[in-house]
Amino acid sequence: MQDLLRKPFGTHGKVHDITPASAGWRYVGFAVHRLRAGDTVAEITGANEVILVMVEGKAHLTGAGQDWGVLGDRMSVFEKSPPHCLYLPNGSEWSATATTDCVIAVCAAPGKGAHPARRIGPDGISLTKRGKGTNTRYINNIAMEHEDYADSLLVTEVFTPAGHWSSYPSHRHDEDDYPRITYLEETYYHRLNPANGFGVQRVYTDDGQLDETMAVRDGDVVLVPRGHHPCGAPYGFEMYYLNVMAGPLRKWRFVPSPDVEWIMERDAD
């Protein structure tokens, strides 16, 4: 059994710290800081580019030699308003001082120095509906491939209503064979509303060599090294997740599970 479900270390400070070494892969890093008003965190990006996502609350951010002011405005992620984010290239120093209690996600992948530091959102990010019926969910695209903001990173937020499915129909992006499919490692940072709820995520390959189904709690992270990775939100519990993807090519191309390909074909009509 692979260690795909990562629980937070606690409720304050750096509660997740996923690196390629700890995940057993090559590209994606992900961390979460839960800060109280007045707390400060400072880090160096090193060989990585990062996108700082203000998941909740407000913080005064500096990075890459610039003062970016106070970022953030939603106090609960389930307000669904567009996030305030900051892109920083590799070789940058950054710091955040919480002006309210806040949650900051650090999305990381190898940087090439091809993009300058910049704010991302809230302008230019719109909540977009995807799917049909109980497969409906809502997307805040932060830095997907049509936005030339990053060297490697692909980052998006997804809101899944109670009783709905997401990252479904099941699909995989675990081969480097563009344009048919791209190799992208992926993390899911889950939040639940109410926070005492749970969701379900399955990660599985067509040959069955990997097949893990996990109950995810508020604040958990799921690693997707390969295979399909659908999520379900039980009736009564709304699900949010922040996706981080990266690989050798900054393109998102996937192949559906043979079992559900007919659903994609039907819903494309």
Query: Tokens 């390909």 sit at which residue?
Result: 261
Query: What is the structure's pLDDT at 269?
Result: 63
**Among 23, 20, 18, 16, CA closest to 2:** 23
Residue 211 near residue 251 (C-beta atoms within 8 A): no
Report d(CA 148, CA 23) in Å as an integer.
Answer: 27
Three-state DSSP class for residue 263: helix
For the chain, state the CA radius of gyration: 18
- The per-residue pLDDT for 59 is 98
Residue 7's CB: how many other CB atoms inside 10 A? 12
The span from the CA of 61 to the CA of 41, in Å, is 10
Q: Which of left, alpha, beta for 145 (phi over 0: left; psi -120 to 50: alpha)?
A: alpha
DSSP string, 161-200: -TT-EES-S-EE-EEEETTTEEE-EEEEEEEEESTT--EE
Distance CA 265, CA 259 (A): 12
Q: What share of the chain is helix, strand, coil (3-state, %, to 5)?
A: 5, 50, 45
Q: What is the pLDDT along the chain (269 residues), one digit of tens a residue?
A: 469 999 999 999 999 999 999 999 999 999 999 999 999 999 999 999 999 999 999 999 999 999 999 999 999 999 999 999 999 999 999 999 999 999 999 999 999 999 999 999 999 999 999 999 999 999 999 999 999 999 999 999 999 999 999 999 999 999 999 999 999 999 999 999 999 999 999 999 999 999 999 999 999 999 999 999 999 999 999 999 999 999 999 999 999 999 999 998 888 76
Continuous segment of H or E residues that includes residue 53: strand 48-56
* Domains parsed from the chain with CATH numbers: 5-267 (2.60.120.10)
| Residues 58 and 100 sit within 8 Å (Cβ to Cβ) | yes
Residue 266: per-residue pLDDT: 87
Whole-number Å distance between alpha carbons of 218 and 211? 22
Placement of tokens 């090559």 in the chain: 26
